[in-house]
Amino acid sequence: MRAKVVLSSLALLLVAACQSYQGDVDSPYYVLPDGARLALNQPLSFAPGQVSLHVQNGRVLPMNQVRAYEPFCKFELYTRADAARTVQPQEITVTRARQYRFDGNYSALDGLQLAGLSFGLYAGGETDGGVPLYSYITRMDLHSPAEPDVYRLTCLRWSYPGMAEHVSIAEIRHTLSPLFTLRLPTER
């Protein structure tokens, strides 16, 4: 009987712990609810053949200038086009959001730094897969009636195991502002 009480108490505690961040927007484990809105506040230009733009600290940057260990976002269009195009300011709906972690590694080989994803690099008989590297990813599927080619917004940061968590809503907002404004369904 005592074991049942202890197990029931433990189960109740686990359920309460799992729900403790559900309403906490500041939690890195708070998943953006469907129906959130992303307001594009200024035009975004895409070069011919370009389908994505990287945003960090409110600025569009080429990927080689993004500080990957700090939060950044990737705004994507669905199809590649031969001509330049511009996405005009508009309200975009988040139709689905989810979080996940992608595991990879980072190795050095004869002075050349290599990034491997989910596989080890083998050289000279050594099987050292390199330093583990995680990407903490929040992916949002988007819908825009004004621009059907608007596809996805992915916000993330790279980290070493145990040193980071998912990007919080506040961090996403900071990363995107002033280009975008992110609003939850309960916010106007």
Give percent of the chain above pLDDT 70.
Answer: 74
Mean per-residue pLDDT for 123-147?
77
Residue predicted with more confidence, 10 or 188: 188
Q: Domain limits of the chain?
A: 1-30, 31-183
- CA separation for the pair 59, 164 (Å, rounded): 23
CA-wise closest residue to 37 among 139, 156, 140? 140
Residue predicted with more confidence, 130 or 2: 130
Largest CA distance in the chain: 72
**Confidence at residue 4, expressed as pLDDT on a 0 to 100 scale:** 53
Mean per-residue pLDDT for 69-74?
96
pTM listed for this prediction: 0.76
Residue-by-residue DSSP string for 137-187: EEEEEEE-SS-TTEEEEEEEEEE-TTS--PPPHHHHHHHHTTTEEEE-TT-
Neighbours of 150 (CB within 10 A): 22
Mean per-residue pLDDT for 30-39?
94
**Confidence at residue 6, expressed as pLDDT on a 0 to 100 scale:** 42
**Residue 132 to residues 3, 70, 103, 135: CA-CA distances in angstroms?**
40, 17, 7, 10
Q: Return the sign of the alpha-carbon dihedral for residues 75, 100, 166, 186.
A: positive
**Confidence at residue 165, expressed as pLDDT on a 0 to 100 scale:** 87
Backbone φ and ψ for 138, nearest 5 degrees, come out as -115, 115
